[in-house]
């Protein structure tokens, strides 16, 4: 039995463009401003991951996840699932900054990024449904 993916929700041309602008900007942010410094060993990134205590391998792992998520936001079929994955990553980042690093003021950035990713996930919910088993 074959199933058809649900049709994308009807959106105005302006809303569609705005969603893609948000996806591209957030994707570029994760690739350039978040993942790249982790790979390049930017001193602040190294310091933060030293303070976390998980080791520098974790810095590379998080950088790879951010890179994959940022690229995924810019690929139509992957944008929804990438947004959901980045939402989960931002929950972990906010917890780590607020609890592990004892710096709750630093949790604002991942909270804002979570909201932006949630907007994308909502806008791309049809693409998320297409990835669910049984669809």
pLDDT tens digit sequence for 59-118 = 999 999 999 999 999 999 999 999 999 999 999 999 999 999 999 999 999 999 999 999
CA 99 to chain centre: 21
Confidence (pTM) = 0.88
pLDDT tens digit sequence for 55-73 = 999 999 999 999 999 999 9
Is the CB of residue 74 less than 8 Å from the CB of residue 30? Answer: no
What pLDDT score was predicted for residue 132?
A: 85
Enumerate the domain spans of the chain.
Answer: 13-128
């Amino acid at each position: 039995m074959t199933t058809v993916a649900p049709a994308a929700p009807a959106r105005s041309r302006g809303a569609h463009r705005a969603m893609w602008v948000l996806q591209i900007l957030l994707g570029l942010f994760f690739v350039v401003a978040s993942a790249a410094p982790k790979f390049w060993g930017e001193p602040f990134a190294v310091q933060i991951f030293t303070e976390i205590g998980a080791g520098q391998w974790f810095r590379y792992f998080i950088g790879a996840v951010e890179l994959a998520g940022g690229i995924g936001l810019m690929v139509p079929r992957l944008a929804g699932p990438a947004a959901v994955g980045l939402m989960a990553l931002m929950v972990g980042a906010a917890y780590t900054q607020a609890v592990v690093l004892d710096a709750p003021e630093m949790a604002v950035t991942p909270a804002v990024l979570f909201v932006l990713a949630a907007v994308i996930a909502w806008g791309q919910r049809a693409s998320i449904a297409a990835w669910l088993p049984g669809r």
